Chains A and B, each alone.
Chain A
Amino acid sequence: DVKVTQSSRYLVKRTGEKVFLECVQDMDHENMFWYRQDPGLGLRLIYFSYDVKMKEKGDIPEGYSVSREKKERFSLILESASTNQTSMYLCASSLTGGGLLFYEQYFGPGTRLTVT
């Protein structure tokens, strides 16, 4: 079974802190994704990566950056955390079908981040 793990289930940080969220997948998937999930807004894509060291902005990249130094690991970085970044963060991975075709995504359990 595909497994996607996230470094923390719950995290509490202070405003202005630098925050790292880590995601690891064990199925050699090319693509990895970071979403945030907020009530009434569903999932919104922050960034995705289709290869090592490659990244593309999603719908809401402001205030975030990402790093993919190894194929299995995709990190989300909040350079200076703010209270409006309090949310559930979901990581996912998938194979690629070529071009803009993607197969189904496999999700991690999520990290609930609270910024105070």
Chain B
Amino acid sequence: GNSVTQMEGPVTLSEEAFLTINCTYTATGYPSLFWYVQYPGEGLQLLLKATKADDKGSNKGFEATYRKETTSFHLEKGSVQVSDSAVYFCATGNQFYFGTGTSLTVIP
């Protein structure tokens, strides 16, 4: 079956630091892959997605590339801001499978 393993947090970075949050998956076939973000007190919202191998999803300076050979979909951002502080979830397959979430805090 499908599953997602996500880098555990919490992660604390200084403003303008480089961010990587690792995500690996197991799945039958070639599912779409997603990153969702949850800001404090809110529901999840889609951050970016990739629908096939080698696709790169991007949004708000975040990027993730669908790597079939390593079954990974790592989230990256070159320069984080305080406003990026949130919990990030990787999701895959038929979307019933979410990672456990990685809490990011960015300090000025």
How many B residues face the partner with a CB closer than 8 A?
Answer: 19
How many A residues face the partner with a CB closer than 8 A?
Answer: 22
By beta carbon, the residue of chain B nearest A44 is: B98
Residue from B36, B46, B49, B96 within 8 A of A45 (CB atoms): B96
Q: Which residues of A are found within 8 Å of B100, using beta-carbon distances?
A: 40-42
Contact in complex: B89, A42 (CB < 8 Å): yes
The count of A-to-B residue pairs whose CB atoms sit within 8 angstroms is 45
Q: Within 8 Å of chain A (Cβ to Cβ): is B83? A: no
CA distance A110 to B38 in the complex (A): 11
CA distance A43 to B36 in the complex (A): 12
| Interface mask (B66-107 → A, CB under 8 Å = 1, otherwise 0) | 000000000000000000000001000011101111000000
User: Which residues of A in the span 57-95 have a Cβ within 8 Å of any Cβ on B?
Assistant: 58-59, 90, 92, 94
Which A residues are within 8 Å of any B CB, using their own CB? 4, 40-43, 45, 48, 58-59, 90, 92, 94, 100-102, 104-110
